[in-house]
Amino acid sequence: MSHHAYASQYRQTAVSSAVLDADPHRLVALMFNGVRERLQLAAACVEAGNVPRKGQAITEASTIVGHLAGSLNMDAGGEIAQNLLALYDYVQRRMLDANVRNDTSALLECDGLIADIESAWNAIAPGAAPARMAAGA
């Protein structure tokens, strides 16, 4: 097995362990981090001309955003959940456009939007269950 394969296997094991050990709040934080990593990778792939890997990274980011949208509690989340759903929809459309047009600026815009949500989410204390439920995630 090559060094690259060992490194990839190690990363996958580390991610799997983090997910298995995470509480719901941490899982959402991991999802935000995963989206941002893939958006940044996609932007780097556009710059490097690696179209297949760019497409894969955007597809992975889109899948995670879909899971984030699907995890919203629309009943308990009210207006916040509605706003997040609209933002996730916008991010999905921008990623699609970025994929078609090889648009780094759209990828960076999406990364910035997700970073803002990630920052707010990370500011919520893990013990503040009512606040988490109101956020809809």
Dump pLDDT digits (tens) for 30-45. Answer: 999 999 999 999 999 9
pLDDT, tens digit (0-9, with 9 covering 90-100), for 42-81: 999 999 999 999 999 999 999 999 999 999 999 999 999 9
pTM: 0.78
Fold of 23-135: Four Helix Bundle (Hemerythrin (Met), subunit A) (1.20.120)
Is the separation of the CB atoms in 107 and 50 below 8 Å? Answer: no
Q: Compute the Cα dihedral for 125, 127, 130, 132 and give only its sign.
A: positive
**Which sequence spans correspond to the domains of the chain?**
23-135
